[in-house]
A and B are shown apart, each in its own frame.
Chain A
Amino acid sequence: MKNFTLGLLLIATCWFAAYAAHGAELKAPERIEAGAGLSISAGGNGEATLYLVGPAGAVKREIKLGGDIKIAPEEVQNAGKYVVMVRTGDSTSSASFWVMPAQPARMSFIARPSRLPVALSNGISGVVYPFDKFHNLIVQPQPVTFKLSVGEAQATSRTVTTRNGVAWISLDSSRKVGPAQFVATVGEVSERRVVQQMAADPCNLRIKAQPSKQGVEVETDLIRDCSGNPVPDGTIVTFTAVSPKGKSSVDARIKKGVAKTELPNLQEATISVASGVVMGNEIRWGGSR
């Protein structure tokens, strides 16, 4: 009989301990959206200390048990795993939940370069990292639309889905000079960058020569790139004359689309023209002309 009573007592003690432990159990949602706030149900009664340990630090405050524990939206703005603990005396109950990034609200859009020649294959790159309003990187796949346009010309548009929170693209520069509008859009958010498209190297660089008072006047035709865009004024063009007396060079800037110079005291020479890495035609002046 005594053993039976002791056994009952032991069972009752265990049941009470289990009940008490169950009473302190915390029930948290598995995941919430950043900045949404949440309620965690906590059994028991009396006062306790709440600890909320997140990916970027921890907070602590006193609470009363027996109802819902409110976690304020501003306490769960950083994406990551959170652990909530309730401590009463020497016992601690805990639960964990994930805070996931909210909807796209901003983006980091890196467009390079700021200026480049026209018709350059894969010359323009765009990289987008989408963020929510709490600066959490949105790692769930998001469609990002990249659009590149110059003036009234038809825009180039492509959609790339983010992977691990990043979308990127390489685009050819168009064949027309001018400020290209490079726009990235994710959700309701758009960002614009300007990429200045310049004329490329001269194409079919040609010169003509005629006698002048001092010697020979050499002038280029209208200088354009291979897409037909005028090469900008100020671009350096080099004229070179090779004669029995030696070699001489003159640098001239393009002005109103052409470059010209005067080569003095030139009787017999081979005259050539170049701009950057581009060579033009040659003229034989005097002698065998």
Chain B
Amino acid sequence: MKTLVVALAIALLAGFSASPAYADDAQLPNVQLNADNGGGRPVEELTKKALARDYAKAWRALAQALEQNRADLIGNDFTGIAEEKYAAAVAGQAKAGLRTRYVDRGHKVDVLFYSPEGLSIELRDTAQLERQVLDGDKVIQSEQVTRHYIALMTPTEVRWKVRLLQEVPGQ
């Protein structure tokens, strides 16, 4: 009986210690990353995992920023021109009283190119999204879309950040 209680306590403690990270990752969009056919240098397994995680975080941040009209949510996951463009977009739609809501249904991402010196990686993303444009609280447009994006990511001190996220026609 005593052993059972101890085992239960350990299981509960393990559950508590794991729960914050799990909760954080649980809210991330699903990103399936394939690095088998890219050019340039090979992508190591750890890099793959980090890329998928950070790209998912970037999409979550973008969705939150555009829905809540909060440009301050952009900077953690975007850098350079992407950060500037999306911050300006948030400011622009906030000024017009608009919001954009993304319901993210997942991303299939292929690595196109990983530069030899490791400073940039190019991705092609096929994203399943539901996009709603709201004027105040009224939905003025809602559509289920399959969108294609080219993304450039760059390593920073502790994570990969999106330097460019550009929508492109499907192939």
A interface list, Cβ under 8 A from B: 49, 51, 53-61, 78-81, 83, 85, 87, 92, 94, 98, 108, 110, 112-113, 125, 127, 129, 135-137, 139, 163-166, 168, 170
Query: In the assembled complex, which residues on chain B have CB atoms less than 8 Å from the CB atom of A87?
Result: 140
Q: Are B96 and A127 in contact (CB under 8 A)?
A: no
The docked-state distance in angstroms from the alpha carbon of A92 to that of B135 is 13
Is B150 among interface residues, defined by CB-CB distance under 8 A? Answer: yes
B interface list, Cβ under 8 A from A: 39-40, 66, 81, 85-86, 88-90, 92-93, 96-98, 100, 112-113, 115-117, 119-120, 122, 124, 133, 135, 140-141, 147, 150, 152, 164, 166-169
The docked-state distance in angstroms from the alpha carbon of A113 to that of B141 is 50
CB-CB nearest 7 A-B residue pairs: A57-B89, A80-B167, A56-B89, A112-B117, A60-B96, A125-B116, A55-B167
Across the interface, name the chain B residue whose C-beta is closest to A165.
B150
Across the interface, name the chain B residue whose C-beta is closest to A164.
B112
Across the interface, name the chain B residue whose C-beta is closest to A61.
B96
Q: Are B115 and A127 in contact (CB under 8 A)?
A: yes
- Contact for A137 among B86, B100, B133, B152, CB less than 8 A: B152
The docked-state distance in angstroms from the alpha carbon of A74 to that of B96 is 16
Query: In the assembled complex, which residues on chain B have CB atoms less than 8 Å from the CB atom of A113?
Result: 117
The answer to whether residues A59 and B96 also contact, given A137-B150, A166-B122, A168-B115 and a CB cut-off of 8 A, is yes
Across the interface, name the chain B residue whose C-beta is closest to A122.
B116
Q: Are B152 and A170 in contact (CB under 8 A)?
A: no
Q: Which of A54, A57, A81, A165 has its CB near the most chain B CB atoms (within 10 A)?
A: A57
The docked-state distance in angstroms from the alpha carbon of A98 to that of B152 is 21
Across the interface, name the chain B residue whose C-beta is closest to A100.
B169
Query: In the assembled complex, which residues on chain A have CB atoms less than 8 Å from the CB atom of B166?
Result: 55, 78-80, 136-137, 139
Query: In the assembled complex, which residues on chain B have CB atoms less than 8 Å from the CB atom of A85?
Result: 140-141
The answer to whether residues A51 and B89 also contact, given A87-B140, A110-B117, A139-B150 and a CB cut-off of 8 A, is no
Q: Are B120 and A127 in contact (CB under 8 A)?
A: yes
Query: In the assembled complex, which residues on chain B have CB atoms less than 8 Å from the CB atom of A49?
Result: 135
Across the interface, name the chain B residue whose C-beta is closest to A75.
B92
Query: In the assembled complex, which residues on chain B have CB atoms less than 8 Å from the CB atom of A127?
Result: 115-117, 120
- Contact for A83 among B93, B124, B141, CB less than 8 A: B141
Across the interface, name the chain A residue whose C-beta is closest to B80.
A135
- Between A and B, 6 residue pairs with Cβ closer than 8 Å are A57-B66, A57-B100, A60-B135, A85-B141, A112-B119, A137-B152
The docked-state distance in angstroms from the alpha carbon of A209 to that of B110 is 63
Q: Are A135 and B85 in contact (CB under 8 A)?
A: yes
The answer to whether residues A166 and B140 also contact, given A59-B93, A110-B120, A137-B152 and a CB cut-off of 8 A, is no
Query: In the assembled complex, which residues on chain A have CB atoms less than 8 Å from the CB atom of B168?
Result: 79-80, 139
Query: In the assembled complex, which residues on chain B have CB atoms less than 8 Å from the CB atom of A164?
Result: 112-113, 122, 124, 150
Least distance between B86 CB and chain A CB atoms (Å): 6
The docked-state distance in angstroms from the alpha carbon of A54 to that of B141 is 13
Query: In the assembled complex, which residues on chain B have CB atoms less than 8 Å from the CB atom of A53?
Result: 100, 133, 141
Across the interface, name the chain A residue whose C-beta is closest to B91.
A57
Least distance between B128 CB and chain A CB atoms (Å): 15
Query: In the assembled complex, which residues on chain A have CB atoms less than 8 Å from the CB atom of B100?
Result: 53, 57-58
